[in-house]
Amino acid sequence: MKTRIKERYFMENLLDNLKELESYFTTGDHQSAVKELMKLIEATPQNSLLQKLLGDLYYLEGNLPEAIATLEKSVADNPKFTSALYALGIAYYRQGKLRMAIEQFEKIIENDPKLAMAHYWLGISYRHRGEEEKAIAAYQKLIEISPESGIAYYHLAGVYMFQRKYKQAEGYLSKLAQISPENAEVFYRLGLCYHNLGSYPEAVKNYKRALELNPDNQPCRDMLDLIVHIDEP
């Protein structure tokens, strides 16, 4: 009976409670927001949304153990709550629990195969576990879903460069250069690929383009110096 009274009181005052909570978020008063959420959760302990919001607050405060514990409750109450699964996966990743992070992102993909950022974080998690081929598969799936996603091309190229597969890396970086023509790092990495492939004219062209965009890139200047002599002004 007491539980029903609490729940009814919560529903009757929900709008006012949410407005107050929003004001705490807006002003950055996380401690007051946490207290308000805990009061709301006491009234409706199985409210997965409130648990998720509380987990987000703990995460913002850098309290990963509490964030994870709270987000786990949210997911336990609603196993298909995509937003909570996503937040939990990132929290696990930040804590170095990569296998558990992967499990969350895989659950999301099972529920919604076209959620691009789940594939991105799945790739990141596999990469940090040293499972490059699985990371590649995740990034390629991200490109299928979002062909203009430059971040997928960037990370795919990074994996292939790590594997010394410079031709494959060059292909993805060339596509990324079309998407982000003002990104100095892309042209620097393209230069590295051509350099390692022995295509020195292409390496020089891309190193120079990278330096046009970012003159302070000393590693790029050093690599260029290995190929051609540059007269210092």
DSSP summary character for residue 77: H
DSSP summary character for residue 64: H
Domains of the chain with CATH codes = 2-165 (1.25.40.10), 166-233 (1.25.40.10)
Reference 159, options 142, 174, 141, 139; nearest CA is 139
> Under a CB-based contact definition with an 8 Å cutoff, are residues 118 and 112 in contact?
yes
Stated as kind and residue range, the H or E segment containing 225 is helix 218-225
Give 114-172 pLDDT, tens digit per residue: 999 999 999 999 999 999 999 999 999 999 999 988 999 999 999 999 999 999 999 99
Instruction: Provide the 3-class DSSP secondary structure of residue 219.
Output: helix
Per-residue pLDDT tens digits of the chain, which is 233 residues long: 444 444 444 444 544 555 665 666 666 666 777 777 777 777 777 888 888 988 988 898 899 999 999 999 999 999 999 999 999 999 999 999 999 999 999 999 999 999 999 999 999 999 999 999 999 999 999 999 999 889 999 999 999 999 999 999 999 999 999 999 999 999 999 999 999 999 999 999 999 999 999 999 999 999 999 887 543 44
Reference 181, options 204, 219, 210, 218; nearest CA is 210
Its pTM stands at: 0.82
What pLDDT score does 100 carry? 98
Q: With both helix axes pointing from N to C terminus, report the angle between 2-12 and 14-27 in degrees, rounded to the nearest 10.
A: 60
Distance from first CA to last CA of the chain, Å, rounded? 84
> Residue 186 corresponds to which amino acid?
V
Reference 53, options 89, 25, 77; nearest CA is 25
DSSP summary character for residue 131: -
The alpha carbons of the chain give a radius of gyration, in whole angstroms, of: 24
> Under a CB-based contact definition with an 8 Å cutoff, are residues 143 and 149 in contact?
yes
Q: How many angstroms separate the CA atoms of 38 and 165, rounded? A: 52
